[in-house]
């Protein structure tokens, strides 16, 4: 009686595609441009929603540019 039919599934496919596309491309791009981890934010977007992840990214201050750590440095960094 309340089953989902083929027409409903076909209508939902573009929405699912837009959701996945935003989660996999837009959110990591914005995160990496702010100095964050694109992969971590991609998982946040997939678990929550791309819109909530983008709102959270706007609220988070930009990260500082970090120098890569060399494990063979003679002096420990402070």
The pLDDT of residue 35: 85
Residue 50 domain-assigned (yes or no): yes
Residue 3 forms part of a structural domain: no
Mean pLDDT (whole number) for 12-24: 88
Residue 41's alpha-carbon distances to 8, 10, 70, in angstroms, are 30, 29, 26
The boundaries of the domain holding residue 41 are 16-59
Q: How many domains does the chain have?
A: 1
76 belongs to a structural domain: no
pTM score, whole prediction: 0.61
25-54 pLDDT, tens digit each: 888 998 888 888 889 988 988 888 888 988
| Residue 55 maps to a domain | yes
């Amino acid at each position: 009686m309340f089953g989902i039919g083929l027409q409903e599934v076909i209508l939902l496919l573009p929405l699912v595609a837009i959701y996945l596309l935003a989660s996999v491309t837009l959110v990591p791009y914005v995160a990496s441009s702010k100095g964050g981890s694109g992969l971590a934010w991609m998982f946040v977007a997939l678990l929550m929603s791309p819109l909530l992840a983008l709102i959270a990214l706007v609220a988070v201050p930009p990260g500082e540019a970090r120098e890569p750590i060399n494990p063979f440095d003679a002096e420990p960094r402070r």
